[in-house]
Amino acid sequence: MEKFFFKTENLGMRLLKDEDVVGNYYNWFNDGDVCAFNSHFRFPKTKDELVEYIHEINSSRSNLVFAIIEQRSQTHIGNISLQEINYIDRSAELAFLIGEKEYWGRGYAAEAAEVLIDHAFNRLNLHRLYCGTADNNIRMQKLAEKLGFIKEGIRRQALFKNGAYHDIIEYGKLREECIKCK
């Protein structure tokens, strides 16, 4: 049984491990459907590159990346992270990747995010979280709003994906807007 840094009713979250590369994790970054709305899938990823990434990310103090494990099946279904943690401005980017397609639409990203948002505001003492998504990623826009993020603006034609430029919609959430975090 895995030891988790965070646990919810359905999920456990732990740091990434080298062994994760052996599973489907490696395939997520080379899958056009999984990476349809993010900046991945531009260059092929090798297993060695992912192991190197895991080592770098686990030693970073400006990035926290957790594997999301569905507890019942013990399946690594995705990752959630706080990226670019800025301890002076007390802000960070919240990012998600649910790589196992059979787990899409089950609310697991929101369940994991609520725990990480609480950690960001109450343990790391951050003041602001932000996230962004492509203008055609309606599911992520709905998720950001469900989590209480406020639409703050648009970075026009900031993402080049599949032969076209897309706007990135930016969302933010302040600690004082977090009901559970007060």
pLDDT 10s digits, 127-155: 999 999 999 989 899 999 999 999 999 99
Strands 150-161 and 6-7: unpaired
pLDDT at residue number 143: 95
- Predicted confidence band at 26 (pLDDT cuts at 50, 70, 90)? confident
The pTM score is 0.89
Dihedral Cα 45, 48, 49, 54, nearest 10 deg: 120
pLDDT at residue number 34: 63
pLDDT 10s digits, 29-80: 766 666 656 655 455 678 888 888 899 989 999 999 999 999 999 999 999 9
Total count of residues recorded for the chain: 182
pLDDT 10s digits, 82-115: 999 999 999 999 998 888 888 888 999 999 999 9
pLDDT 10s digits, 5-19: 999 999 999 999 988
SS3 track for the chain = CCCCCEECCCEEEEECCHHHHHCCHHHHCCCCCCCCCCCCCCCCCCHHHHHHHHHHHHCCCCCEEEEEEECCCCEEEEEEEEEEEECCCCEEEEEEEECCHHHCCCCHHHHHHHHHHHHHHHCCCCCEEEEEEECCCHHHHHHHHHCCCEEEEEEEEEEEECCEEEEEEEEEEEHHHCCCCC
pLDDT at residue number 42: 53
- Burial (CB < 10 A; 0-12, 13-18, 19+), residue 12, is buried
